[in-house]
Amino acid sequence: MVHDRLLGSPSARRSIRQIDRRTLLRAGAGAAAAAGVVGARSSAFSAPAHVRGGRNAAGQEIPGGEITFYFGANPDEAATRELIIGAFQEKFPQITVNPQVAEGDPVQELQTQFAGGAGPDVMMAWELSYSGLATRGVMADLSERIAADAEFAELVATDHEAELIAMFNWDGKQYVLPEQFAGVVLFYNKKMFADAGLEAPPASWEDTSWTWDRFLETAQALTVRDGDRVTQFGFADAWWMPLSATVIGTGNGGNWFDTYVDPAASTITDPNLVAGLQWYADLSNVHRVAPNAEEIATQAGPDMFMGGRAAMVLVGHWMYPAFSGVDGLEFEVAVLPLGPQGTTPKTDLGSTGLAISATSDMQDQAWEFVKFSTGVEGQTIIAESGLFVPVLKSVGQSAAYLDAHPAIQNATVFTDALAHSVPLPISAAWGEISAIWDRDLGAVWRGEASAEEVCANLEPQINDLLAES
Amino acid sequence: MVDRAGQGSLSGSVAPARRGPVKRSILAEIRKNWTSYLFILPNLIGVLVFLAFPVVFALYMSFTEWDILTSPEFVGLQNYREMFTDDPLFWVSLRNSAYYVLLTVPTTLLIALGLAMAMNQAVRGIAFFRAAIYVPVLTSAVAVAFVWQWIFNYDFGLLNAVLDVFNLPSVRWLTSSSWAMISLAIMSVWKSAGYFAVILFAALQGVPKVLHEAAEIDGASAWNRFLNITIPMIAPALLFVTVISVIGSFQVFDQVYLVTGNGGPGTATYVYNLHLFNEGFTFFRMGYAAALAYVLFAILFVITFIQLRVGRQRASAAYEFE
């Protein structure tokens, strides 16, 4: 039976103090962005129908129509979306795509839109929250359409990371096709490394030399103190503490759920995971190489990196455009540190994708658009923009992708990470789980409790929520 | 159903003295004064659709399990049962809100009264001060929250800088479990005292000067005059201000949401309406959120009832000598 406990949007409540990729996607995604998108489209895409256009892969004529496409984006990202929409409409001139940019929390917005019977035809879907909408019958099952299209099915089977496809397969149905990869990596300030005479951290996820100990030594060497006050931190978290620390824990061979798609039990007391959480908290509370809760409240991690107050930050590709826009900031990307019990460094299989509304009367048109965006054509546009990381392995190694990242040499750190990622939990109870998990782990970051105590207390609570969902 | 309920309550408030066969008298009255009813019809429809219906519908919702997308399922009193027996956060948030009310209401009233007395003085440029006191009330809650986040900042904040001047240790205003709620209360008092000061100021202006003059001639001290003339004379305004500020403080949401996010650190500032918001709009448990809303309504109803009872008794006692 469907329980009414639903997904949450962890970002909604931390948006004021922290920047994560969701808040970033939302930043500036107001009416101005939407107006800009619409305006650009009417001028740029009124081009006449292309000769070969209007047919799908099987050569069948796709009927015309209008589809609404809901997504979260900042103005730059909305422009990239616009390029994809433009290219799609050139291929299918009979289909008009109306962009609808999220104005607030996407899950709340979609939920209310569908409740009011006015949901979009195609929507962006977030890994942590999509299952709640899918469970409620909002999303169409794409499995049959994929199976019916041999060429596309082949692409899905071979060019996608299997674990990522599986993460968007809920209840045996493929509700979402992945479009962007968002695993976190380590960004570091090249000049600070050079000044301290430090060796650069590795750019290969197969390299096992970047251990916790070496990371700590590096961070200590990069930390500059003026009396009691730290003027330059060796490291700063620029994502979301509980999830960042969990990713570090998975790099120590830890796991926080028995299985990641529809888990039945949490394994958050796994000693390897707990060690990662504690190690991450100790960076600030014991070693003072990272900002503590007060200092992060003063200046968020990304700002510290951009302002030259932190030498390394853990965050995803979504900060690349902002970092590369800072004058005089020379940075590079590297893999995350490897715990003593881990085999290779790990990151999270963070991803967003596209889904089709189950109630849309434009199923065929919506499908062509999703196929286009998540297929080679759309992925290439994404790669060329430099704003997102494509999910297709072939596109992730392409010159188009590498050329779009002139500020760094190691752009493949992002795309190679796909194969070294631990999935995120996909559960209809995630909203409630994340609320208590985020809240209780706060005591660890503030140095008030050990990760071991907090996790021992959390595990039964999370299991209760999983059992109820 | 809804229409009838709405009309019933309306007639109740318009003519509270009337008893007896209400339904018939309403119909008779409508027939007699149909043009008047025609005039209030637009407003009446507004009240029914946007006020009476949501209130009644929320009550129905509180007996269901509903996630907006799938159809509501009637569960009887389950939401209320869960609240009292199986939701530790209900008690935590209720306690936090009560603590917040205790922190803010007396402080706000004392400061508002002080401000009102000061506003009542004939000083040069008093008009400027009267306006200045009201500025925090007019400022957007978001702007206030951001400014106060800076004031409370541990490293660069104004308050810790002042403490530093006096060689006092810095306080973790927003990140310490024991200080966070106090900090929120300070901010709220600053923001709302001006509003209540204006109301009390108006009441002070209504106190007849002759009473003060007569008492002064009789040799009453300033403190005696304040206690025995000013306070009794503005008692109705004080009562109003108390009732409004208790209700407002119990319903606090925006300041907390903006300043400490999800009610942190831990659950230190996790107030009642934050819990309600999370249940309704983060977990989409609309039925449970509606039940929470109705319990808060019941609590406020009882508290307000007691306040009005006690307040009226006091007020009538004060007027006994008139």
CA dihedral (B159, B161, B167, B168) in degrees, to 10, reads 30
Size of interface A-B (CB pairs under 8 A): 85
Contact A442 B264 (CB under 8 A): yes
Residue of B70, B258, B282 with shortest CB distance to A9: B282
Confidence of residue B19 (pLDDT cuts 50, 70, 90): low
Best mutation target among A294, A299, A464, A465 (most B Cβ atoms within 10 Å) is: A294
Tokens 């996909």 identify what position? A426
Confidence of residue B281 (pLDDT cuts 50, 70, 90): confident
Confidence of residue B315 (pLDDT cuts 50, 70, 90): low
Contact A111 B174 (CB under 8 A): no
pLDDT at A70 exceeding the cut of 80:
yes
- Specify the pLDDT at position A457: 96
What does the mean pLDDT of chain B come to?
87
Task: Say if residues A262 and A426 touch (Cβ distance below 8 Å).
Answer: yes
3-state class of A23 per DSSP? helix
Confidence of residue A408 (pLDDT cuts 50, 70, 90): very high
Q: Looking at CA atoms only, how far is residue B266 from chain A in angstroms?
A: 5
pLDDT at A173 exceeding the cut of 50:
yes
Q: Looking at CA atoms only, how far is residue B173 from chain A in angstroms?
A: 10
CA A386 to CA B21: how far, in whole Å? 76
pLDDT at B62 exceeding the cut of 90:
yes
pLDDT at A155 exceeding the cut of 80:
yes
Comparing A43 with B256, the larger pLDDT belongs to B256
With contacts defined as CB-CB under 8 Å, which chain B residues touch A297? 149, 153-154, 174-175
Contact A4 B66 (CB under 8 A): yes
Distances (CA, A) of A417 to A176, A408, A425: 21, 16, 18
Contact B175 A111 (CB under 8 A): no
Strands A331-334 and A184-189: antiparallel
3-state class of A356 per DSSP? strand
Query: Per-residue pLDDT averaged across B40-46, rounded?
Result: 92
Provide the 10 A C-beta neighbour count for residue B163: 14
Tokens (6 digits) for B95: 């306690």
Residue of B66, B68, B154 with shortest CB distance to A294: B154
pLDDT at A52 exceeding the cut of 50:
no
Q: CB contact, 8 Å: B78 with chain A? A: no
Tokens (6 digits) for B30: 């409508």
- Specify the pLDDT at position A58: 61
Q: Looking at CA atoms only, how far is residue B257 from chain A in angstroms?
A: 8
Query: Per-residue pLDDT averaged across A102-118, rounded?
Result: 89
- Specify the pLDDT at position A19: 37
With contacts defined as CB-CB under 8 Å, which chain A residues touch B174? 297
Q: Looking at CA atoms only, how far is residue B70 from chain A in angstroms?
A: 7
Q: CB contact, 8 Å: B266 with chain A? A: yes
pLDDT at A63 exceeding the cut of 60:
yes
- Specify the pLDDT at position B286: 93
pLDDT at B182 exceeding the cut of 80:
yes
Residues of chain A contacting B, Cβ within 8 Å: 2, 4-6, 8-9, 12-14, 16-17, 108, 111-112, 114-115, 132-133, 136-138, 293-295, 297-298, 431-432, 435, 438-440, 442-443, 446
**Distant-in-sequence, close-in-space partners of B91: CB < 8 Å, separation ≥ 6:** none
Task: Say if residues A85 and A45 touch (Cβ distance below 8 Å).
Answer: yes
pLDDT tens digits for B8-17? 344 444 444 4
pLDDT at A450 exceeding the cut of 70:
yes
Comparing A79 with A437, the larger pLDDT belongs to A437
ipTM of the complex: 0.77
Q: CB contact, 8 Å: B284 with chain A? A: yes
- Specify the pLDDT at position A20: 41
- Specify the pLDDT at position A303: 94
Task: Say if residues A270 and A458 touch (Cβ distance below 8 Å).
Answer: no
Q: ω into residue A10 within 30 of 0, thus cis?
A: no
- Specify the pLDDT at position B123: 82
Tokens 């003519």 identify what position? B15
With contacts defined as CB-CB under 8 Å, which chain B residues touch A9? 282
Residue of B67, B174, B282 with shortest CB distance to A8: B282
Confidence of residue B121 (pLDDT cuts 50, 70, 90): confident
pLDDT tens digits for A320-338? 999 999 999 999 999 999 9
pLDDT at A279 exceeding the cut of 90:
yes
Residue of B261, B266, B287 with shortest CB distance to A16: B261
Strands A184-189 and A224-226: unpaired
pLDDT at B180 exceeding the cut of 90:
yes
pLDDT at A428 exceeding the cut of 80:
yes
- 3-state SS string for A440-466: HHHHHHCCCCCHHHHHHHHHHHHHHHH
With contacts defined as CB-CB under 8 Å, which chain A residues touch B263? 439
Q: Looking at CA atoms only, how far is residue B68 from chain A in angstroms?
A: 6
Cα A138–Cα A139–Cα A143 angle in degrees, nearest 5: 155
- Specify the pLDDT at position B24: 65
First to last CA, chain B: 48
Q: Looking at CA atoms only, how far is residue A14 from chain B in angstroms?
A: 6
pLDDT at A9 exceeding the cut of 70:
no
pLDDT at A42 exceeding the cut of 90:
no
Task: Say if residues A52 and A5 touch (Cβ distance below 8 Å).
Answer: no
- Specify the pLDDT at position B184: 96
Instruction: Find residues 143-172 of chain B whose CB sits inside 8 Å of chain A.
Output: 149, 153-156, 172
